[in-house]
Amino acid sequence: MSELIIQEKVIDNIKGKAISKTANDQNTDDIVPARYLKEITFEKMGEYVYIDERIKDGNKVEEHPFNKSGASEAKILLAGANYGCGSSREHAPQALHKFGINAIIAESFAEIFAGNCASLGVVCVTVSSEIISKLAEYLEKNPLAELEIDLNKKMITCGEEKIEFDMPEGRRQAFLKGTWDAMAILQQDKEGIKKIEDNLEYLSY
């Protein structure tokens, strides 16, 4: 099977302002409440990200990290452990992505959420809880400072420092080759799919 590279979709570097929101177990209902799932397109999802935290009793919560001045220019989110737990709703990563987030640094991710991010081209990388605290401290002192995530070198650049991150190797390769939207590579092996179809006896039961 030939190596597929989709040049125009290659993602190897994300550089931009970072929002810090490092509570653990932030769930998909926090990110996008269920009532917004009634929209049949993802167009407006960016308007709803963390909406019930950001607006209380009709008033904007000024201290919310996504409400701070400059937050709408952010490309990177710093999060805690088990980020995106809960529902499989793709609306959650869509909301973050449409808000402007292209990469998330967390201690760990809920699986379905991380898979959904990959499908959209949102890069998810993990570091230890100590590094999360360190980055959070840096961003507290330097609000919305720029970070850089280099997928080739597996490094985060924060100020003068370079910090190594983790991510599933398969996903990293998919971003580097532009095949993170798996539709193209899933369509390739027509023979392989036919072989399974012909050999799964229960399909005829």
Partner 1 sequence: MSQKTLYDKVWKKHIVGELPTGQTQVFVSRHMMHEVTSPQAFEMLREKKISVKHPELTFCILDHVIPTHDLSRPFEDNQAELMTSTVEENTKEFNITYFGPGSGKQGVCHVAFPEQGLIWPGQIIVCGDSHTCTYGAFGTLAFGIGTTQVSHVLATQTLAMDKLKVRRINFNGKLNKGVGAKDLALYMIMKLGVKGGVGFAYEFGGEAIENMSMEERMTICNLAVEGGARLGYINPDKITFDYLKEKEFAPKKYFEKAVEYWKSIASDSDAQYDDVVDIDVPQVEPMVTWGVNPEQTIGVSEIIPSSNKFEGKLKEEAEDALNYMGLNAGDKIEGTPVDVVFIGSCTNGRLIDFKQAAEILKGKKVAVKTLVVSGSEEVKKQAEEIGIDKIFIDAGAEWRLPGCSMCLAMNPDKLVGTQRCASTSNRNFKGRQGSPTGRTHLMNPYTAAASAIEGKITNPGKYLGGYPLKGIKKNE
Check: CB of residue 93 under 8 Å from CB of residue 84: yes
- CB nearer to partner 1: pick between 17 and 116: 116
Query: What is the smallest separation between the CB atom of 150 and partner 1, expressed in angstroms?
Result: 19
Coil, strand or helix: which one is 157? strand
Check: CB of residue 152 under 8 Å from CB of residue 16: no
Task: Name which of 158, 155, 154 is nearest 136 in CA terms.
Answer: 158
Phi, psi of 50 (to 5 degrees): 55, 30
Beta-carbon count within 10 A of 43 CB: 10
Note whether 166 binds partner 1 by CB under 8 A: no
Coil, strand or helix: which one is 16? strand
Note whether 182 binds partner 1 by CB under 8 A: yes
Which one among 88, 153, 164, 166 touches partner 1, defined by CB under 8 A?
88
Note whether 8 binds partner 1 by CB under 8 A: no
Q: Which residues of the chain form contacts with partner 1 (CB under 8 A)?
A: 1, 3-4, 23-25, 27, 29-30, 33-35, 37-42, 52, 56, 80-82, 85-90, 93, 108, 110-112, 115-116, 119-120, 168-171, 173-174, 177, 179, 181-183, 185-187, 189, 192-193, 195-197, 200-205
